């Protein structure tokens, strides 16, 4: 039986440059490249020093990186279980439409099941209809009853000083 040319593997510290490159590609696709301010040193420290911190999986075809997923655990008080929150799921443009996004999500779902997680969640930009249609096709449900709020580092500092 022939081995599949596709695999998903855990990222390691040596992958930091590749991860940063794909983060920049992802941000460029989302028209948010100007918001990427991290560097390799910061990324490496924050991805690989805390065992409870974020995790990265690298998707490869014939040992060539086709995409990545960066995720971390959250917790549902209603379910009383951990969940997985996907921060970024990215497939490089030349590999899109070939099923890699679904394979990456299957890997995340297998991990969620293995870790007894109650759900997997992520955000998608409203204009990204291709992704929205894909997510709906695989059974994901948009959470239209919620609005995502964010405090930036600047806002956090202002709030701390204010109190």
Q: Please report which confidence band the pLDDT of residue 155 belongs to, taking 50, 70 and 90 as the band edges.
A: very high
Q: Please report which confidence band the pLDDT of residue 95 belongs to, taking 50, 70 and 90 as the band edges.
A: very high
At 39, list the tokens: 């560097």
CATH code reported for the domain at 6-162 = 3.40.630.30
Compute the distance between CA of residue 22 and CA of residue 37 in angstroms, rounded to an integer: 14
List active site positions.
Answer: 135
Q: Please report which confidence band the pLDDT of residue 146 belongs to, taking 50, 70 and 90 as the band edges.
A: confident
pTM for this predicted structure: 0.91
Beta partners for 76?
Answer: 81
Please give the span between the terminal C-alpha atoms of the chain, in angstroms, as a whole number: 64
Cβ–Cβ < 8 Å for 71, 108 = yes
Chain segment 46-90, per-residue pLDDT in tens = 999 998 999 999 999 999 999 999 999 999 999 999 999 999 999
The count of other CB atoms within 10 Å of the CB of residue 34 is 8
Dump the DSSP string for 85-127: EEEEEEE-GGGTTSSHHHHHHHHHHHHHHHTT-S-EEE---TT
Q: State the SS3 of 3-57.
A: CCCEEEEECCHHHHHHHHHHHHHHHHHCCCHHHCCCCHHHHHHHHHCCCCCCEEE
State the pLDDT at residue 1. 46
Query: Is pLDDT at 163 greater than 80 in this prediction?
Result: no
Compute the distance between CA of residue 61 and CA of residue 79 in angstroms, rounded to an integer: 36
Cβ–Cβ < 8 Å for 108, 121 = no
CB-neighbour burial class of residue 68 (10 A; exposed 0-12, middle 13-18, buried 19+): buried
């Amino acid at each position: 039986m022939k081995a599949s040319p596709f695999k998903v593997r855990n990222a390691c510290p040596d992958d930091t440059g590749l991860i940063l490159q794909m983060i920049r590609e992802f941000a460029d696709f989302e028209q948010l490249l100007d918001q990427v301010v991290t560097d390799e040193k910061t990324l490496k420290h924050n991805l690989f020093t805390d065992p409870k911190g974020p995790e990265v999986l690298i998707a490869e075809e014939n040992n060539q990186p086709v995409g990545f997923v960066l995720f971390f655990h959250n917790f549902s008080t209603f379910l009383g279980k951990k969940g997985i929150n996907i921060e970024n799921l990215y497939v490089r443009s030349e590999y899109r439409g070939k099923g890699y996004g679904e394979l990456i999500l299957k890997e995340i779902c297998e991990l969620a099941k293995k870790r007894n997680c109650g759900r997997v969640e992520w955000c998608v930009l409203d204009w990204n209809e291709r992704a929205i249609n894909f997510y709906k096709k695989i059974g994901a449900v948009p959470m239209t009853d919620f609005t995502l709020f964010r405090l930036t580092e600047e806002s956090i500092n202002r709030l701390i000083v204010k109190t």
